[in-house]
Chains A and B, each alone.
Chain A
Amino acid sequence: MNRSLSTSGSQLQLKNRMSLGQSVRQSLTMAYRGLLKIKRTPEQLFDVTFQPIIFTLMFTYIFGGAISGSVKGYLPIIIPGILVQTVITTSIVTGVQLREDMDKGVFDRFRSLPIARIAPLAGALLADTVRYTIATVLTLAMGYILGYRPDGGFDHVVIAAILVIVCSWAMSWIFAFFGVIARTASSVQGISMLILFPLTFVSNSFVPVKTMPDWLQWFVHVNPISHLVTAVRQLANHGTIGSDFAISLIGAAIIVAIFAPLTVRAYMRRT
């Protein structure tokens, strides 16, 4: 009875649940871990560095003349489009890296610690917003170099950028879900690309919707990516916040509401 098992054992307050405050703090610690990892392996940032530069150059000069008659006239259309496409594509990597990370022994330790089950996931996703920010800044900078001068002004461009980052973060929960349920990292990449390609291309990102057949137009109009692109265009080019802005945020919230619990559950079940 009087045997002391451990110095801290008696002081432990044993609870079977984590408070919200604890969960947030643990997620932030996991995000700190993610940032340290990015700092240690900067080669992880290759894609977010070069993709914005190459894609912006490529699409602007390939489609510019054909669609808008001139590169300069195409920039207000393509820059918001390419911004959304690039940053959201970047969020696939979140799922792939999560899968790779989970195969390592350290995730067993995370699972055996008395921490909120969502913390390792939320932390990884949070740290990746750094990647989205880099991609966003670089795409906008490329646009500026090519001659894009958004009429909405700097402040509205910043709001647009934040909107894109928030929506990409929401989307990354989908890929995180694939990351948790898939067997290998490369299959995560495969499934995610398969979903993201139609979503980003069958939208108003690159071309006027009117040139598409009716049935495709229907899809473009329901495609959340189109709404996000429209919201960014309105903000950057006109300085207005319209219904598309709200639809994008609501869409993002719905995605998180569905996929965050699904992902956490799948993560807990995974053996």
Chain B
Amino acid sequence: MDRVLRSVPDGYDWAIEARGLVKIFGDNRAVDGVNLNVRAGTIYGVLGPNGAGKTTTIKMLATLLRPDGGSARIFGHDVVKEAQIVRQLIGVTGQYASVDETLSATENLVIFSRLLGLGRKEARRKASELLEEFGLTEAAKRPLKHFSGGMRRRLDLAASLIAQPPLIFLDEPTTGLDPRTRAQMWDTIRRLVKTGSTVLLTTQYLDEADQLADRIAVIDRGRVIAEGTADELKASVGTSSLQLRVQNQGDIETARQMVERMLKVRAIVSPEAGKITAPIADADRVADLLITLREAGIRLAEMSVQKPTLDEVFLTITGHGVEDDAKKASHAPDGVEAM
């Protein structure tokens, strides 16, 4: 029973199980005991600043680097001992495009398809199918030198999907893309998971992990420092906050006093915006507060609950915040992770 389950990915619950992965370059412990469990059929985000060890971790999971310590299994197959099997279960898209610059898009896909065992005709058909799906048909014959960054990424992803692998690694899939292409990429990734694939993606964009990933591991200096759903991570930072805007500016002071009395917390007023912000310690009391406000005749223009952002999560967990260079990189999206 066990054997049967292991040779076929269907029915195996864990796409990735990594225990204490270590990779050392010189005296730099690039990855220092990473544990990951990724459930099949989900999107898993590995979030961290430049040089945190994200790429190195992916390279070990994708059999491109041999771990110096620990072990990892892909659908139950060891990445070192059963590397060739693991390679049949994964697709890898690096942060730089892993396609051939001198060749055309079609030629690239045909060669990869042929290498994966498709016949000449099948390979051609698969190539045109994928080009169509990724909106590259028009550029199919052009050499890649003339491709934009977004087109290259799409081709790169297309190449990873030839064998329809059950697990796909995406290393910073949207780094360096403009917002529109980025949104397209997100759609593509979501579509992938709908067809049953498992996706592990790394990112240094906090909102990307928030948007896409079912679960997130925050990685810093080669270690996983937090793990959970985006909501869990945010919740671990602290409470949500209530934001109220009153219609009549004159009511703001009365409203503030009511908020403080009802919620039993200190409220912050920003008079320019006419906004009151207060942490929600007990959600039940918010209802009472709203009723009291109505009874007092204070009309609200807007009411919202603000969850903590992942930026705050990162700051709280690491204690040192997103490091300066990473901060720069997230503003200038062409930052490339140093290996």
Contacts and interface: CB of A to CB of B under 8 A. Distances in A.
B166 to A, nearest CB: 4
B65 interface: yes
Given A29-B115, A105-B96, A112-B63, A6 B166 contact: yes
B100 interface: yes
B40 interface: yes
Contacts of A29: 111, 114-115
A111 B64 contact: yes
Given A9-B8, A33-B111, A14 B88 contact: yes
B310 to A, nearest CB: 29
Contacts of A18: 84
A5 interface: yes
Contacts of B116: 113-115
Contacts of A114: 84-85, 87-88, 116
Contact of B85 (A14, A105, A106): A14
A26 interface: yes
A119 to B, nearest CB: 7
A211 interface: no
A17 B196 CA distance: 27
Interface in A1-40: 1-10, 12, 14-18, 22, 26, 29-30, 32-33, 36-37, 40
Given A3-B10, A3-B11, A109-B98, A119 B85 contact: no
Given A5-B41, A9-B8, A109-B159, A17 B111 contact: no
The 5 closest A-B pairs by CB, nearest first: A114-B87, A109-B98, A105-B98, A5-B166, A6-B166
Given A109-B99, A115-B115, A7 B195 contact: yes
A271 interface: yes
Interface in B102-128: 102-103, 107, 111-112, 114-117
Given A36-B107, A112-B87, A8 B164 contact: yes
B175 interface: no
B94 A105 contact: yes
A104 interface: yes
Nearest to B25: A271
B7 interface: yes
Contacts of A14: 7-8, 77, 85, 88-89
Contacts of B165: 6, 9
Contacts of A16: 82-85
Contact of B40 (A5, A8, A105, A269): A5
Nearest to A1: B11
Given A3-B41, A37-B103, A105-B97, A22 B87 contact: no
Interface in A165-215: none
Q: State the majority secondary structure of interface residues on B.
A: loop
A155 interface: no
A119 B115 contact: yes
A125 B100 CA distance: 18
7 contacts: A3-B11, A6-B9, A6-B164, A6-B166, A10-B10, A30-B111, A114-B84
B92 interface: yes
A108 B92 contact: yes
Interface string A84-112: 00000000000000000000111111111
B7 A9 contact: no
A239 B92 CA distance: 55
B322 interface: no
A1 B1 CA distance: 13
Contacts of A108: 64, 92, 94, 98
B85 to A, nearest CB: 5
A112 B64 contact: yes
A112 B91 CA distance: 8
B197 interface: yes
Nearest to B23: A271
B163 interface: yes
Interface in A39-59: 40-41
Interface in B265-303: none
B318 to A, nearest CB: 27
Contacts of A271: 59, 64-66
B15 to A, nearest CB: 8
B298 to A, nearest CB: 52
A9 B64 contact: no
Interface in A254-271: 269, 271
A113 B112 contact: yes
A37 B102 contact: yes
Interface in B155-187: 159, 163-166
Given A5-B198, A9-B10, A9-B89, 10 more contacts: A3-B11, A3-B41, A29-B114, A32-B111, A36-B103, A36-B107, A105-B99, A108-B64, A108-B94, A271-B59
Contacts of A109: 92, 94, 98-99, 112, 159
Contacts of A32: 111, 114
Contacts of B63: 111-112
B126 to A, nearest CB: 12
Contacts of A26: 115
B166 A9 contact: yes
Nearest to A10: B10
Contacts of B107: 36
Interface string B52-92: 00000001001111100000000001000011110111111
Contacts of A15: 84-85
Interface in B8-26: 8-11
Contact of A5 (B64, B103, B163, B196): B196
